[in-house]
Structures are given as C-alpha cells and as structure tokens.
Amino acid sequence: MEQKPAKKMFLQIVKQLRELIMEQRIQPGDKLPSERVLCERLNASRSSVREALRSLELLGLIESRHGGGTFLADVGGHQLVEILSSFILREEKSQKDVHATREMHEREAIRIICAEKELRNLPIWDSLFAQIELQQEVKRAAILRECVIAAGNRLSLKIWIQLHAYSMTSLKDRVTVSEKEALQILIKSMQMGYTEEAIEAYNEWIGQI
C-alpha cells in the first residue's frame, strides 16, 4: 500500500519538497518552511532533511541564509523543479541530447579554428583533404577529433571524447562518397576562415550520418 521505502530518505525528501513547493505555490524568492518544521511535516530527522536541502543548495535551487531561513532560488523555480525531478527519477537523457551536445562541441571547435589564422594554417587540414580526395581510410572520428584538438580547449576535448565514446554505436567508420563533397567544403571553408560556410557544410555532413 505504502510507497516503496526502498529509496534513500534524502531523495524522498527532495521529492516531497518539490511536491510541497508546487502544492503551496511557493514562488521563487519565497521562504521555505524551516528545517525543524520540515522534520515534522515530512516525518524525518533534521539530518535527513538537511542532506536534502544541502543537495538542492549545491544545485542552486535553494538558498540558505544563516539565521534567516531557506528560500527558493530567485528565478525560474518551476522550470528548475521539473528538471530536478527528472534528475531524481534518473530519467535518462535521450541519445539525442548526447549527439546534440557532441555536435555543439564540434561546431564550436570549427568556429574557433575559423577565427584563428594559426589554426587555419595547420598542415593537418591539407593532409585530411588529400586523404579524402584519394578515398583513403579516413575515419569521421579522426577528422572531428583533429578539429576539437586543434581548437585547443582540453576540457572540451575530454568532454568530446566521452561523448563520442558513448555515441559511437550508431556511427559508421568510413567516410562515404556522398559525404565527400560536404566534407571537403568544410575543410576548405575552415582554411579560408569562412565560419558560416564551414558550419553549414558541417551541418550538411552531420545530417547525412
């Protein structure tokens, strides 16, 4: 009859906190019930309540002021709560999000390359272009990796590697003939510093995959 008590207390409290916020129409900036009151209402110890509150505070969803009280974060509480619940429930993000994020990093790398002369003039681009022209073994991942590496943001590179590892399943290795053109346009545009054209070529290329 009762819900599963299996989950950890502080997660249940986070969930109940969200329900409480919605029920009582607590607006961003408003004060939340005090920790001690929440203990009573949620039938939990103060330690557990605090674990939940501190978690939400680290996420930036609430703000606690010593001696003052606990408040719902200033802006956009309702939207945040929705996001939050999805985190709690561990609803896993779609493959789409992973792809979109990876492509975001790739596009940004292309933009950076286009904007910097030293990067545009790297010999690697000619090399890649020639390999594509000759239909040699050119792996998509290699091309994109070169871009992200060239862009010089190591954090972005690390993120990209992880994202790529995760989304590799649906990617074929070799570059097909139909992709050849868009790919070469991409590289040439990059070398010329034509950001818009490069991005457009990239989008067209990605669209084929």
Residues that bind DNA (CB under 7 A): 8-10, 32, 34-37, 39, 43-48, 50-51, 53, 64-70
Residue 18, contacted partner among a copy of itself, DNA, none, CB below 5-8 A by kind: none
One of 15, 145, 180, 188 touching a copy of itself (CB under 8 A): 145
Name the residue with tokens 């509150």: 53
Q: How far is the CB of 14 from DNA (least distance, A)?
A: 11
- Least Cα distance to 198 among 134, 150, 131, 164 occurs for 150
Binding segment toward a copy of itself, per CB under 8 A, in 16-24, 35-43, 160-168, 179-187: 160-168
Considering the rule CB under 8 A, would residue 55 count as an interface residue with a copy of itself? yes
- Least Cα distance to 16 among 36, 57, 44 occurs for 44
- Least Cα distance to 30 among 82, 78, 85 occurs for 78
Amino acid sitting at position 118: E
Q: Which two tokens stand for residue 204?
A: 């067209």
Sign of the four-CA dihedral 192, 180, 158, 105: positive
For residue 27, list its beta bridge partners: none
Considering the rule CB under 8 A, would residue 92 count as an interface residue with a copy of itself? yes
Angstrom distance (rounded) from CA 172 to CA 138: 11
Binding segment toward a copy of itself, per CB under 8 A, in 18-26, 35-43, 134-142, 176-184: 134-142
Residues near a copy of itself (CB under 8 A) are 10-11, 14, 47, 50-52, 54-60, 73-81, 83-84, 86-88, 91-94, 97-98, 100-101, 104-105, 107-108, 124, 127-128, 131, 137-139, 141-143, 145-146, 149-150, 153-159, 161-166
